[in-house]
Chain A
Amino acid sequence: MSTLTPHNHTPGFATPVRDAQQVFRAVLQALARPTTPQPVIVELLPPAPLGATIGAVILALCDEQTPLWLDQALRASPEVCAWIVFHTGARIVDSAGDAVFVIASSPHSAPRLADLARGTDEEPHRSATLVIDACCAPTIGALTASGPGIPGVARWDGAGLPSDFLGQWHENHSLFPRGVDIILAAETAVLGLPRTTALVDADTHEHQHQHQHQQEQEQEQEQEQDKRSA
């Protein structure tokens, strides 16, 4: 583990209590209102390649009780490791499955959701939170999000998540109440994707909706038949 020297010593929050509160409130609102960006206005200069917003999320939420996993790009930087360890006291772990917070420097370097802690049926809260730096990430297309926190449905551009993400997310969502929650950190905002959010391709959404409706009707018919036969 690298040590902190005056050369790689960059400060944390300027006003630790207030900055942590502001960042947390943004993250709380982000998870409460999925896919709606919540502004994070904090001055922070973490060592590259760690972004300012993702750095702020780490400082606000992590401490010695939360093992962290860093992706290769972040792990390769001794300054980043030293900065996180110095300011939070968090332990950096080798296996993503052991981490409470999983930090990825880009959407493509995030580990597969199936490799992360997803909690148990009795303790679904003991699951990992995946924090992804999605600064300047290209959009992956039109998605439709629905679930708690979203009035009706919301359109979302996907923030550069890899092409197989939708399949992974579908599996993660279907595990409810188990599952991983995602926080996406953009330049000056955070965006939440809790396990309750259902994501579908916007093009297939209408088709699926019709399909669901059909299924529901069929189920109702079956139930009626059951009632009659009983």
Chain B
Amino acid sequence: MSGPRIVYNEGYLDEQTKRVVRRALLKGVAIPGFQVPFASREVPMPRGWGTGGVQVTASIIGPDDTLKVIDQGADDTTNAVSIRAFFEKVAGAASTTRTDEATIIQTRHRIPETPLTDNQIMVYQVPIPEPLRFLEPRETETRRLHALEEYGLMYVKLYEDIARYGHIAKTYDYPVLVNNRYVMAPSPIPSFDNPKMHQSPALQLFGAGREKRIYAIPPYTDVESLGFDDYPFEPQRFEQPCEICESTEVYLDEVLIDDQGGVMFVCSDTDHCERTLTARELDQSNTDQSNTDQSSTDPITDHITDPLTEVNA
């Protein structure tokens, strides 16, 4: 009783739409940090769920590509799984959860912990591309401010944070200055990830579907997080290691593990966490084999057995 099967163009979008997006991408790359308007089309998901990222990915992806999609660092959330499945179906592209195997990484809210390489493209899903939007609601005015390189408003906002809280209180979507010219919203990534954008070997593309803007940072481009000489930008830091894989210097998520308010801190980058844990276990089994008389109980692995299953559930 199935109806006729709908056949979409390869990559879902029609060729005309792809060309519009592609031309916007080229101008975006030529003017790092500048928001290029484009005719955002409908894709099979609601606006605000990553339609900009999906349109950018659809316009660049080919059958030779391997796509990774992360949502807050995780490969296994609904949105990430659906978008991966979508492109497997409509673009014939392979997909992966491993950062080092991906050629295109579409992301919402994180940059992977594994260092990016020259042959990778990052695609960011952007909810609000205009960094000045909450300071100046008029689009005509923000455009002029960008044209005049007039970013006083943004510095006043950062200054007010310092006056009120003693430090710059913004911890995500922390504004950056790209190539010493445009102030740009890096999408709601944690400020922890901001330093990874600076001189990144990978090309970084940003798509805002609802707001109809595309912008880009070419590889090896200066990306400076705003700050003052006496109050410089300070990315978030974490004191404790990940409770699953013991990685340090990574971005951690707080995960509730019981009804008593118990929490654990684990890597937000699931791929990084899995691979570090596997490598560590391999290492451990090797050493266990070499000196068998030593007992193999590991307090940490024992401790996290229950929470792990809960996290994966």
Are A18 and B10 in contact, CB atoms less than 8 angstroms apart? yes
Q: Does A121 contact B (CB under 8 A)?
A: yes
**Do A151 and B220 touch (CB < 8 A)?**
yes
| A122 touching B144, Cβ below 8 Å | yes
Q: Does A229 contact B (CB under 8 A)?
A: no
Knowing A17-B10, A148-B220 are in contact, say whether A125-B19 is a contact too (CB < 8 A). Answer: no
Taking a contact as CB atoms under 8 Å apart, the answer to whether A177 and B34 are in contact is yes
Query: Interface digits, B1-37 against A, CB 8 Å rule (1 contact, 0 not)?
Result: 0000000011100011011101111111111101011
Contacts of B222 in A (CB 8 A): 148
Cβ contacts under 8 Å, B30 to chain A: 31, 179, 181, 194-196
Residues of B within 8 A of A32 (CB): 29, 203, 216, 218-219
Number of interface residues of B (CB under 8 A): 45
A60–chain B nearest beta-carbon distance, Å: 8
Contacts of A65 in B (CB 8 A): 20
- B181 interfacial by beta-carbon distance below 8 Å: yes
Known: A125-B36, A176-B181. A28 touches B60 (CB 8 A): yes
Stretch of A19-27, A103-111, A201-209, A219-227 with 4 or more beta carbons under 8 angstroms from chain B: A19-27
Q: Are A61 and B203 interface neighbours, CB within 8 A?
A: no
Which of the residues A22, A29, A125, A196 comes within 8 Å of B24, measured between beta carbons?
A: A125
Q: CA–CA, A176 to B179, complex, Å? A: 11
Check A33/B218 contact, CB under 8 A, given A28-B203, A121-B148, A122-B144: yes
From residue A102, how far is it (CB to closest CB) to chain B in Å?
A: 14
A28-B25, A125-B27, A151-B220 given; A22·B62 CB < 8 A: yes
- Is A63 an interface residue, CB under 8 A from the partner? yes
B62:A21 contact, CB within 8 angstroms = yes
Contact across chains for A148 and B62 when beta carbons are under 8 A apart = no
Which residues of chain B are near A129, meaning CB under 8 Å? Answer: 26
A17 proximity list for chain B (CB < 8 A): 9-11, 15
- Chain A residues near B (Cβ < 8 Å): 16-18, 20-22, 24-25, 27-29, 31-33, 60-63, 65-66, 120-125, 127, 129, 148-151, 176-177, 179, 181, 194-196
Any chain A CB within 8 A of the CB of B221?
yes
Q: Does B43 contact A (CB under 8 A)?
A: no
User: In the complex, are the beta carbons of A18 and B62 less than 8 A apart?
Assistant: yes
- Which of A60, A61, A122, A148 is within 8 Å of B221, CB to CB? A148
| Contact call B29/A28, Cβ cutoff below 8 A | yes
Would you call B143 an interface residue if the criterion is a C-beta within 8 Å of the partner chain's C-beta atoms?
yes
Report how far A66 CA is from B25 CA in the complex, Å: 15
Interface centre among B27, B28, B179 (most CB of A within 10 A): B27
Is there an interface contact between A149 and B218, defined as CB atoms closer than 8 Å? yes
Closest to A195 in B: B30
Contacts of B221 in A (CB 8 A): 148-149
Pairwise interchain contact A20-B220, C-beta atoms closer than 8 A: no
A31–B29 CB distance below 8 A? yes
